Structure 1
Amino acid sequence: MTAPHDLIVFGEDWGRHPSSTQHLIARLPQDWQVCWVNSIGLRRPRLSLRDLKRLATKVMALMRSSNHDGGQVPRPDHIHVHAPMAVPWPASQAAQSLNRRLLARQCRRWLHEDGLHRPIFWASLPTGVVALGTLGERAVVYYCGDDFSSLAGVDHAPVMAMEQQLVDRADLIIAASEHLARRFPQNKTLYLPHGVDFELFATPAARPDDLPESGPIAGFYGSIADWVDVSMLADAAKERPNWHFVLIGSVETDVSELEGLPNLHFLGKRPHHDLPGYVQHFHASLLPFRDTDQIRHCNPLKLREYLAAGSPIVSTRFPAMEPYAHLLTVIEPCSRLAPALDTARADSARNAIRRDAVRNEGWDNRADEIRAALERL
């Protein structure tokens, strides 16, 4: 039997949102001990309300015991979560030098406390590279789930320089989309598309009380950010006043075009485990993306979650949706959404076919591929 591996993972804040890294790492064998290090930031904070709230969350995490989580993804006992003290300023060489010393000291202590030895170094965020070479790691893995060169809210130049260091040092690169995979050396790159919590989204769920009671519903969940085509949604809401447009998630872009529309509903954030109750009762689940570099390189988790729920889906065209295009109502970016809603509403007969399309794409299957790749290291 192959000996278990220890991992130190530099990822986003555990529990803040259910990322692909969290889904994968949570499903590794229970005897693989994991030291999880929360994010040290991809840009210098600014004096905005959002950043001040984020800073407050970080401070609270430091003040609590290390193994905290927000309940979005269950944290198995073999995963030990730690909130590092570091300076979130990728563009500053002085900050990176300080972070290297701070992280090395903190991580060595956590590895000792958690009982880990010669871990595999796993970075899902390029900023983790500052600790590389200080922890006695046996191998280096870079998990790339986003195009950091175009990701909103990132100090692009310094972060991309950090990514290049990781690519050069990595023994294994895992890319979540084919477009991302083509950027890296093919001899050490594994293309691994996102999975889905199939049982969660396919199991019938009760209709939430805060959904509109009458009329068809077009719904979206996730960050309402720059990559969402707000104008497309506004035009559709005006063209289809009998439809309700439900948006679930934090608002991170200008939505003034949507404000005041009587059939537009902002519900705010909802826990991940509550989302099936919403999407299963949408008459059309939306992927209304703008045509951006970030979207062209992305592989959104919600696409497979929509499919697992069996919901009719309206999506703008982008590369990661193409394998499922025959199951979606596809429109070109910047085109009219309203006619596609009518088409999707009439497509409920294929709900079971949509579910079956991702039945074997669960996170357990993806984690098995990760386990095998790590064992080969």
Structure 2
Amino acid sequence: MPTDMIVFGEDWGRHPSSTQHIMRRMAGDRRIIWVNSLGLRRPRLARRDLLRLAEKAASLLSRRGKPPAGNSDKRQETHPFAQLLNPQALPWPGSRLAAAFNRKSLSRQIGAAMRQYGFERPILWTSLPTALPVVGELGECAVVYYAGDDFGALAGVDHKPVLEAERQLARKADLILAASHEIASRFDPAKTCVVAHGVDYDLFAEPKPRAPDMPDGKVAGFYGSLNGWIDINAIAEAARQLPDWTLVLIGNVETDIMPLHSLPNVMLRPAMPHHDLAQWSQHWDVSLLPFRKNRQIDASNPLKLREYLAAGRPVAATYRFKAIDDLQAPVATPAPGAGLANAILAATSMEEEVREFRQHLAGETWEARAETVSKLIDTIRKGSPSGT
């Protein structure tokens, strides 16, 4: 019988992360207690942080964890786990006082859930270095660290204490699963394996009806948060250079988008449920990856790259960041000295390449990744995994 698991991840249902994709599939044949986010930085006196703190406080008053308020994704209103816990913890990386409090509080809270469901010697999986205080406190048989991000390059992180926690966690982990070879290179190769991201292939490849409010004519589109690592100026310039195209941007606005306000061919749409996105991405002409060139993007592996290609439409990016080369994906980028508009036009001639690559993605599903992870976890008791 597969070993029970305690999983520390992001807030369940807030966004479809790689950890959530994998654990949704693994929950089909093993019992899992999911612990919502412990945080990666100290809260600040900003409106967004105060709203998140209020949301966290409200969730702690419920007996069981629920997806965050305002999440309308029907696929994620329920969870597949034995229990989902809202952690009784202080989000203060680097604080010894917070670490001591979290060790006692989380051990007590999770221990009660383990007793309720009869968990004995589970596997402890964490995607967050801030779970370090409870490692060794839950009677776990093994520790798995899923390194899906380069926390040193990630915005919104207290880098110094989080990286120190990651170093300590990596020493204690029995198995490290890295989302890319670049991330894997930071850890002991004797216990590190690369598990590349998958794709919800059926969701994005099976034909969907065209979104009723999709604009007519030629459309280039993006979905995801409009934040500091999105090149708003590049988008604005492309819209001006392609007046016969509409640029559709789907997602929450978290940065200054003033350059877009006066452009009649830019359409802003609020964030929508993940399962509705294919109604757009299957039917616009070109999908966009309009990122700024920086260390964070160079270290990233955006799930939407595979999702865009599974939807079957050509992809244009502001530049060829490492994840594109790692996947060997057919993605158009600007010619020297040109901008995003040049990449959009170049992408329109790549439909045949995308169709061929789409067939490759059919074997790169999250189900396949979850099966790989299950097999790697099973090796922990049999001996050290083979690094890849």
Aligned partners of 2:51 and 2:24: how far apart in 1?
A: 27
1:160-190 residue CA offsets vs partner (Å, 9 max, x unmatched): 1111111010110011011101111111111
Equivalent residue number for residue 358 of structure 1? 361
Kindly report which structure 2 residues correspond to 1:185-200, keeping only aligned pairs within 5 A, or say none: 185-200=188-203
Equivalent residue number for residue 207 of structure 2? 204
1:250-296 residue CA offsets vs partner (Å, 9 max, x unmatched): 22222222222211122111100001111011211011222222211
Checking the alignment, whether the CA contact within 8 Å between 1:232 and 1:335 is kept in structure 2 is no
**Please, which of 127, 130, 153 is the counterpart of residue 127 of structure 1?**
130
Kindly report which structure 2 residues correspond to 1:320-331, keeping only aligned pairs within 5 A, or say none: 320-325=323-328, 327-331=330-334
Equivalent residue number for residue 276 of structure 1? 278
Aligned partners of 2:88 and 2:112: how far apart in 1?
A: 13
Checking the alignment, whether the CA contact within 8 Å between 1:290 and 1:334 is kept in structure 2 is no
Identity %: 47
Aligned partners of 1:76 and 1:154: how far apart in 2?
A: 27
Paired residue total: 374
**Please, which of 147, 167, 170 is the counterpart of residue 173 of structure 2?**
170
Equivalent residue number for residue 264 of structure 1? 266
Aligned partners of 1:29 and 1:83: how far apart in 2?
A: 18
Kindly report which structure 2 residues correspond to 1:85-104, keeping only aligned pairs within 5 A, or say none: 85-104=88-107
RMSD: 1.8
Checking the alignment, whether the CA contact within 8 Å between 2:7 and 2:126 is kept in structure 1 is yes
Checking the alignment, whether the CA contact within 8 Å between 1:18 and 1:72 is kept in structure 2 is no
Change (3 A) 1:264 1:347: same
Change (3 A) 1:246 1:161: same
Q: Does 2:303 correspond to 1:301?
A: yes
Equivalent residue number for residue 60 of structure 1? 58
Change (3 A) 1:211 1:52: farther
Kindly report which structure 2 residues correspond to 1:1-377, keeping only aligned pairs within 5 A, or say none: 3-28=1-26, 30-69=28-67, 71-73=74-76, 77-212=80-215, 214-315=216-317, 316-325=319-328, 327-331=330-334, 335-377=338-380
Aligned partner of 2:140: which letter?
A: E
SS at match of 2:333: strand
Change (3 A) 1:137 1:229: same
Aligned partner of 1:244: which letter?
A: T
Change (3 A) 1:130 1:211: same
The CA deviation at 1:325 is 4.5
Checking the alignment, whether the CA contact within 8 Å between 2:335 and 2:342 is kept in structure 1 is no
The CA deviation at 1:146 is 0.7
The CA deviation at 1:350 is 4.1
The CA deviation at 1:366 is 0.5
Change (3 A) 1:37 1:333: farther
Moved more, 76-85 or 170-179: 76-85
Equivalent residue number for residue 383 of structure 2? none
TM-score when normalising by structure 1: 0.94
Change (3 A) 1:300 1:98: same
Aligned partners of 1:328 and 1:77: how far apart in 2?
A: 35
Q: Which runs of 5+ in 2 are unaligned?
A: 381-388
Change (3 A) 1:100 1:334: farther
